[in-house]
Amino acid sequence: MAMFANNDLGGMTVYGITLLQTVWGILSAIVLFRILSRHFEVEKAFHYTLLFALCSLFLFYSTVVIRDIVICFLYLCAFDVVDQKFSLTGLMKLGVIMILAWGIRLYSGIFATAFIGYYLYVRCRTGNLKLITTFLFAVLLIVVAGAILSSSLVEQTTAELEGYEELSAERSAGGMVSKLQSLPFGISYFAIVCFTMVRPLPPFAIYSGVQTFSHIVMSSMCLIAGFFWFVVFYSLCCQLFLKKYIFKIPFEQVVMLLVCLVFMLANASHPDIRRMLPVFPILFIQFAEICEAEKVTLFDSKISKCLMAFYVVMAFGMLAIM
């Protein structure tokens, strides 16, 4: 596309590159809608897709030229495959997706093998093979997470991470991240994941230093996404463990949630919510399915309302203190 623009359109600009980047966000929404259409009525799937596309960080990272949204699109394609019946064609698609993700970011491609393992696991989880496949899949998850956390991969991405400027609110939260990283091994990863789902913190600090209308728009997108995902994530956690939906949903969904958890923990070594973004649609779909089972609309449950009220009080409380 750059060659075409340089030869025939008078040159490739940052705006042109940004438009190409936005394509991946649009394609992600299309794939998400296709997945949701298999679980809900078409009209409801459309509303859920629109809500996620506009209120999650998918919108923000579709407007900046970084590769995270491309990884998100590839992971959505992988989930689209494993969400359907097993086929050799699907297995081949997962192989291609893994190679493409590997070429964009090394550890993202390595973890994509977990989708292949899950796909085979669901296919083979019958009869006498049940215990064997469960054990092999658990080993695969441990190996993949260990590979991502290995020093060589961390060192490879450290220079890249240092090259990006984080949002002002995330920079101000660095002291808390350092304290969480000092916790005992294992506990620190869970603590960082939980803390990451609350950011930006303080919420309104995201507006510090804004100078242009574009800055205001981008900061507002991050604030909305932070509020949205805080409610979705912690509502899902409460539904799964306090209301014990972890024992009511199909075992295959539990395994997929475990895959998502391992992915987020593996990315907690460099806490940044955009590193965890590829599995957010999977968690959102599970949240929507539980709401459907409870026969309540999204964010209309008592848990969600309490979380929304808590977030608003926390945000304005911190603003008053500041």
What does the pLDDT look like over 109-135, one tens digit per residue? 888 888 988 888 887 776 556 666 666
pLDDT of 77 over the 60 cut: yes
- Cis status, amide bond into 281, omega within 30 of 0: no
> Rounded CA gap, 232 and 245, in Å?
15
Q: What is the pTM of this model?
A: 0.85
> Rounded CA gap, 115 and 306, in Å?
35
DSSP-derived letter for residue 41 is -
Poorest-pLDDT segment among 245-249, 268-272, 282-286, 287-291: 268-272
> Rounded CA gap, 299 and 128, in Å?
42
- Which helix or strand (DSSP H or E) is residue 242 part of? none
pLDDT at res. 20? 87
**Which residue is it, tokens 């539990």?**
254
C-alpha closest to that of 75 among 288, 276, 249: 276
Secondary structure (H, E, C), 166-221 = CCHHHHHCHHHHHHHHCCCCCHHHHHHHHHHCCCCCCHHHHHCCCCCHHHHHHHHH
Do the beta carbons of residue 153 and residue 267 sit within 8 Å? no
> Rounded CA gap, 175 and 152, in Å?
26
Burial of 236 (0-12, 13-18, 19+ CB in 10 A): buried
pLDDT of 37 over the 90 cut: yes
> Rounded CA gap, 60 and 115, in Å?
26
Alpha helix positions (H), the chain: 2-8, 14-39, 42-55, 57-61, 68-82, 88-104, 106-111, 113-124, 129-149, 151-162, 168-172, 174-181, 187-196, 213-237, 251-266, 273-276, 280-293, 302-321
Q: What confidence tier does 278 reach under pLDDT thresholds 50, 70, 90?
A: very high
pLDDT of 50 over the 90 cut: yes
> Rounded CA gap, 293 and 287, in Å?
10
More reliable by pLDDT, 274 or 131: 274
CA 87 from centre of chain? 26
